[in-house]
Amino acid sequence: MNRGCRVLVAMSGGVDSSVAACLLHEQGHDVVGVFMRLGAHEPEEYSPELVGDSCSPRPAGTLDIASQRQGQAPAATVTGGTPVPPDGRGLSLPVRAATDAVPSDRHRGCCSAIDATDARAVAGRLGIPFYALNFEEDFGRLKRYFADEYAVARTPNPCVMCNQWLKFGRLIEYADAIGADMIATGHYARLAHTGESVRMFRATDAAKDQSYVLFGVDPSILRRTRFPLGELTKSEVRAHARRFDLPVHDKPESQDICFVPDRDYARVVRRLRGDAFTTGVVRHVDGRELARHDGLPNFTIGQRRGLGVAVGEPVYVASLDPQTGEVVVGPQASILSNTAHASRVSWLHGAPTDAFRALVRIRYNHETAPARVEPLPDSQVRVTFDEPQWAVTPGQALVIYDNDEVLGGGWIDHR
């Protein structure tokens, strides 16, 4: 990336994205910060006009892409700023002038009001323009996907889908609108750019690697993306935050799905798909009926706690049947599988035609496992592991690696 490029940086208010913005600014790039307002926290009072900072060289604003796409808001300019150019498809993106608002003191994971305030403060220290992008309507699609998957006995991965559907696609739209050359985030992954080609690799810090949740980002977007933290460890990032004297240098990380900060997934599903909660049988793999349950969304493959059964030995959820509503439980051996079948597979560099050896990850906190990957028609793959794997779960992403390089991935249908 040439020195002095204009870079749009997604700033979530956490230490990672804040340091990413600071490093790019330090390198001499023209950095523009954006906070993605997703509407993740329904109970929390928050105005999207919250962002803005008197330290910024130009006032911050709020971009309402959802309303703009529906033609509901006229194009405008930020007071003291410049008109927002068209996005290249005949649509100009309106910006509303920002006003101050009183932030909430509740931090409920990412995307909250306090996160917006933290991101604004970092942008103010850097003296860079800063905007909030309003994606609440788009985010509703992600919540519906989450509930719909649980309703058919699949365990979704909304972080992967958020990157694939929303974050990177919308970021590149806004980058085009403001004439930015690149976009950047605080993700821990590495990209290697060679001309028009790009390859993605696992991060240097294996404990923080996020390449798993990025496999579905379109390569055309990755070509214009930078991950400044890919070569750094978390401790090094925090050291940079202290060096930059950032107020978020010791901010704790959010470990939860942003719209389920209390981890009560069933509550969210019940609100959006109450019809999914029908009673059914809990059955042992040996055929015994053990109990009845009040809805498949209360369960996931491999689950041990909260099953409501006692058989004298530990049992785990082995399978879920959306047709019969049956939950099948069994001993640890019944959760192991040598195979996984995935569909909707996307490849970063073209689909292979022959079977090959690779490393495969079947969930975010799963260590990659050696396997044989067999491409199938209609963007599917069959994976055969060298050793049985724990809880191959329908709905989760299956990501394929060549050592550290991401080759592609898809969505598990069955084992």
- The residues assigned a catalytic role are 162, 258
Question: Is residue 402 classed as helix, strand or coil in its secondary structure?
Answer: strand
Q: Whose CA is closest to 121, among 47, 48, 56?
A: 56
Give the angle 56-117-86 at the CA atoms, nearest 5°. 55
d(CA 151, CA 255): 24
d(CA 376, CA 343): 9
Token pair belonging to 231? 């070569």
Query: DSSP letters of 308-333?
Result: ----SS--EEEEEETTTTEEEEE-GG
From the list 349, 352, 350, the residue with the least C-alpha distance to 383 is 352
Residue 214 is classified by DSSP as G
Kindly give the pairing relationship between strand 30-37 and strand 356-361: unpaired
Task: For residue 299, give the nearest of 324, 328, 274, 272 by alpha carbon.
Answer: 328
Q: Is 137 exposed, middle or buried (0-12, 13-18, 19+ CB in 10 A)?
A: middle
